[in-house]
Amino acid sequence: MKPTLRVVSILLIAVCALSAQPPLERVSFLLGEWTTETDTELGHASALSTFAQELDGHILTRRGSTKYTSGKNAGQRHDDLLIVYSEGSSHALKAIYFDAEGHVIHYTVTIPEPGTAVFDSDPTQPGPRFRLTHKVTGNRMETRFEIAAPGQSNYQTYVSGISTRK
């Protein structure tokens, strides 16, 4: 089936609109303060994540803090920082993650559909692979962090939760 001129025109307009959009605008749906209350295998967790534009809009940061109030991790805290940036002339979105436990993860960011950001770790690096997915609908964000063991193609959910925008 041959595409019609109308379909081709619509696709070209969509591609031009996306390429004209500043790179970090593609993840602007994440901006704001997000709170989470969830029960995990490690215990009950209260979390606050703040997504903000910094350095005159050249990067987007997520600063996160999770406190465990019960269970195996009662009294423990997890702090992290994620930096999203545009790289090169292709304006590919990349990210780097740091946490207080010393983890560093390099991600490539894709937007498979409006309101969804998928962060995939570099598959060429040794060790496990990681995938972080944020899906925003209105003032609600579903977050899932998954891990694939070395040599495995299937991801297993490590932690997931639902946040509310403040």
pLDDT of residue 76: 92
pLDDT of residue 7: 47
Q: What's the Cα-to-Cα distance from 160 to each of 14, 47, 65, 146, rounded to whole Å?
A: 33, 12, 15, 9
pLDDT of residue 16: 44
b/e code 42-65 from CB counts within 10 Å (16+ = b): bbebebebebebeeeeeebbbebe
What pTM, to 2 d.p., does this model score? 0.83
Query: Which segments of the chain have a pLDDT < 70?
Result: 1-21
Structural domains of the chain sorted by starting position, each given as residue range(s) with its CATH number in brackets: 23-165 (2.40.128.20)
